[in-house]
Amino acid sequence: MFSSLELTNFTSFAQLDWPDHSAMNVIIGENDTGKTHLLKMLYSVGRSINLYFQKKDGPQPRPWMDCFIHKLSWTMQPKKNDYFYLLHDNKKGMEIISCVGNGRLSFVMPDVSKIEIDPLGVPKPLPIIHMFDGINPIGPVVFFPPKEILTAMHAIEATRRRMEIAGFDDTYLDLIDDFRIAPTYGEIGINLKEILTKIRKTLNDGEIDEEDHHFVYRREGETYSMSLTAEGFKKIGVLSRLILNRSLTQGSVLLVDEPEVNLHPQAIIALADILFALSQAGIQVYAATHSYFFLKRIEQLARLTKTKTSLVDLRKSPTGVTATFHDLRDEMPDNPILTQSEYLLNEDIRLDWGE
């Protein structure tokens, strides 16, 4: 699991030093403050570690650096596949440093302006310094993008796998691959069993199942196609299958971008409960959100359980996006989401009582 991340000259960030990650991590910030970029960088690092160890003892092993460059390219999908577009300042190089478990890895491009990109998205020549020290295998790394995947699954696979057309990035394609793994039998642990029960309840005692190579929603003996299934049900139903097929298990990392999308506030709170429970069951969770309901519920759970829960508050500044770090088990710090909720409350008071 991740314990720290440092970024230099990457997209919105001139410099970001995020130490001391938690089992549950929440990222907030206005639009265009780099929340998704932060999640995707963590994903690129984590998934490249997965890929490196999958290939390590096979007939075609790949250096970690190659795995990372490939994953970063197809996850970030920079314009014209040019790393130049990933820079905060195009006159400086890029650096990524992360501690994962007891190991440490780094990736440095000292002068990106001299890099040429081949058709496969590999920079050549490679003025790159990298280190992969003490890194051990980690559990599966899973990314939940804001859009659900089940309705558009075949279209995503066709455009990416057969035609290699950019658009749907690797977070979508990888999630489809993870979701297609058949559920396995055997014990999954009491905590995860309880979470599955919560998920089923949130789905109105239904479940996502497979029928004739298509996925359907089943409830009370009735079967519904994905196009007729509520968007929120599809999003939450994916979680259940990933637990059952061991894509989400103790030691995994789950990154969720805008979990509140297409969910009623009641379902947002239920999903917050589920994600927090996953973090308590040994899965490291990262969630980027705009939702007061989600943020407030995570704060309540952190205070209730006295569990260290990291809040990363991203703000724009003249020199780039800056970050402040808080522990939600202490209290909710002032932030733009709270400010807007207080504004609406004050408007109600003004309307009721006059100015």
Residue type, 77: Q
Question: For residue 287, what are the β-bridge partners?
Answer: 26, 256
* Rounded mean pLDDT, 221-236: 82
Mean pLDDT score, 11-22: 94
Q: What 3-state class would DSSP assign to 266?
A: helix
pTM to 2 decimal places: 0.92
Q: Is CATH 2.120.10 what the domain over 2-183+248-353 is classified as, yes or no?
A: no
pLDDT at residue 46, as a whole number:
95
pLDDT mean over 162-181: 85
Q: What is the pLDDT at residue 122? A: 60
Written as six digits, the tokens of 223 are 């079967």
Q: What contacts 299, CB < 8 A, 6 or more positions away?
A: 309, 328, 331, 332
The pLDDT tens digits of the residues spanning 100-129 come to: 988 999 998 876 556 666 666 565 655 578
Q: Which of 17-31, 98-112, 276-290 has the lowest mean pLDDT?
A: 98-112
Q: Is pLDDT at 216 greater than 90 in this prediction? A: no
Higher pLDDT, 243 or 163: 243
pLDDT of residue 212 exceeding 80: no
pLDDT of res. 168: 85
Domain range summary for the chain, segments of one domain joined by +: 2-183+248-353
User: Cα(52)–Cα(55) distance, rounded to whole angstroms?
Assistant: 5
Q: Is the dihedral of CA 29, 36, 293, 20 positive or negative?
A: negative
Share of residues in the chain with pLDDT > 90 (%): 50
pLDDT for 127-161, tens place per residue?
Answer: 578 898 999 999 999 999 988 888 888 888 888 87
The region that residue 140 occupies, defined by phi over 0 for left and psi between -120 and 50 for alpha, beta otherwise, is: beta
> Nearest-CA neighbor of 243 among 304, 198, 212, 293?
198
The first and second tokens of residue 247, run together, are: 């894509």
Name the burial class of residue 318, with classes exposed (0-12), middle (13-18) and buried (19+) by CB atoms within 10 angstroms of its CB: exposed
pLDDT confidence bin for 166, thresholds 50/70/90: confident
| pLDDT, greater one: 337 or 167 | 337
What pLDDT shows up at residue 149?
82
Instruction: Provide the residue type at 210 as one letter.
Output: E
- pLDDT of 288 > 60? The answer is yes
Give Cβ neighbours of residue 20 (< 8 Å, ≥ 6 apart): 3, 4, 310, 325
pLDDT band at 211 (very low <50, low <70, confident <90, very high): confident
The stretch 235-254 carries a mean pLDDT of 91
- DSSP letters spanning 66-77: HHHHHHHHHHH-
Res. 175 pLDDT band, cuts 50 70 90: very high
pLDDT for 285 equals 98
Q: Model confidence over 326-347: pLDDT tens digits?
A: 999 998 999 999 999 888 888 9
Q: Does the pLDDT value for residue 202 go beyond 90? A: no
| CA-angle at 243, arms to 265 and 68, nearest 5° | 95
